[in-house]
Amino acid sequence: MSDESRPTPAQTPVAAVIPAAGRGVRLGPGAPKALRALNGTPMLIHAIRALAASRHVSLVVVVAPPDGAAEVKSLLDAHALPDRTDFLVVPGGESRQESVRLGLDALPPQYGIVLVHDAARPLVPVDTVDAVIEAVRDGAPAVVPVLPLADTVKEVEPAAVAGDPEAVLATPERARLRAVQTPQGFDRETLVRAHETVTENVTDDASMVEQLGPTVVAVPGHEEAFKVTRPLDLVLAEAVLARRRLNDGF
């Protein structure tokens, strides 16, 4: 692209990739996690609405369970979504990392900024989404929303058998630790290069950029951006939705 035609950071179109292809083993038996309902609406629809609520996000790429792309497409048709946002659905892969890469492969060329957001974080507030986008537009190649930890964290020697006692090796200083959420935001080229270069399995996209070298920037996350992982998280998510309905005066 020539310099004259390259969009300024404030104009660079933003796309969101939503990996939603996981089974949700820790949530217990049932439908794939992203398709499970929260107050009657699939978690994935909540997550899509949360990202599409940002005026800066003009495309959402949903990475569906490998055999569930048709089902996800009909879910999108059946639920009200903003007209100004485009949607694509692609089938996912075996790992989260592979699912994200398949979503990136589907991105049209004009999107210079990419957010990656877990379908399993259906309640992220739009202000958090916008804060991540703003930090990327301000020049950070990779941005993560984070929260301080409530619990002290120990490093252990993992037991061979789950549940057996474990030796504690170290206690990192809690004040220097952060829990990482999504959406994580990236300069597209940086994220694509990270996915091409890092082959070991990772649990978040920003750590791949860390391995490449560029400094990843942390911005404040939000307690409502928690990940629905275990059954109790479903209770918490429905309580958050109930509180929002009360506050909105419904």
Residues of this chain that interact with ligand CTP (CB under 6 A) are: 19-26, 33-34, 63, 92-96, 99, 118-120, 227, 229
Decide which of Mg ion, ligand CTP, none touches 136; Cβ closer than 5 to 8 Å per partner kind: none
Which three-class secondary structure state does DSSP give residue 98?
Answer: helix
Amino acid at residue number 56:
H
Decide which of ligand CTP, Mg ion, none touches 80; Cβ closer than 5 to 8 Å per partner kind: none
> Which DSSP letter does residue 26 get?
G
Decide which of ligand CTP, Mg ion, none touches 120; Cβ closer than 5 to 8 Å per partner kind: ligand CTP
Decide which of Mg ion, ligand CTP, none touches 72; Cβ closer than 5 to 8 Å per partner kind: none
Site string for Mg ion, 17-46 (x = CB under 5 A): -----x------------------------
Tokens of 114: 């990419």
| Minimum distance, C-beta of residue 92 to ligand CTP, in the bound complex (Å) | 5
| Minimum distance, C-beta of residue 240 to ligand CTP, in the bound complex (Å) | 17
Cα–Cα dist 148/180, whole Å: 9
Omega of the bond leading into 108 within 30 degrees of 0 (cis): no
Decide which of Mg ion, ligand CTP, none touches 99; Cβ closer than 5 to 8 Å per partner kind: ligand CTP
Footprint on residues 69-128 left by Mg ion (CB under 5 A): none
Count of Cβ atoms closer than 10 Å to residue 243 Cβ: 11
Cα–Cα dist 16/128, whole Å: 14
Output 92 or 183, the one with its CB closest to ligand CTP.
92
Output 22 or 32, the one with its CB closest to Mg ion.
22
Cα–Cα dist 95/93, whole Å: 6
Decide which of ligand CTP, Mg ion, none touches 20; Cβ closer than 5 to 8 Å per partner kind: ligand CTP
| Minimum distance, C-beta of residue 195 to Mg ion, in the bound complex (Å) | 18
How far, CA to CA in Å, does 125 sit from each of 46, 65, 121, 203? 11, 25, 10, 22
Give how far the C-alpha of residue 231 lies from the chain's centroid of Cα atoms, to the nearest Å.
20
> Which DSSP letter does residue 33 get?
G
**Can you state the angle between helices 96-105 and 188-197, rounded to 10 degrees?**
130
| Minimum distance, C-beta of residue 95 to ligand CTP, in the bound complex (Å) | 5
**Residues within the interface to Mg ion (CB under 5 A):** 22
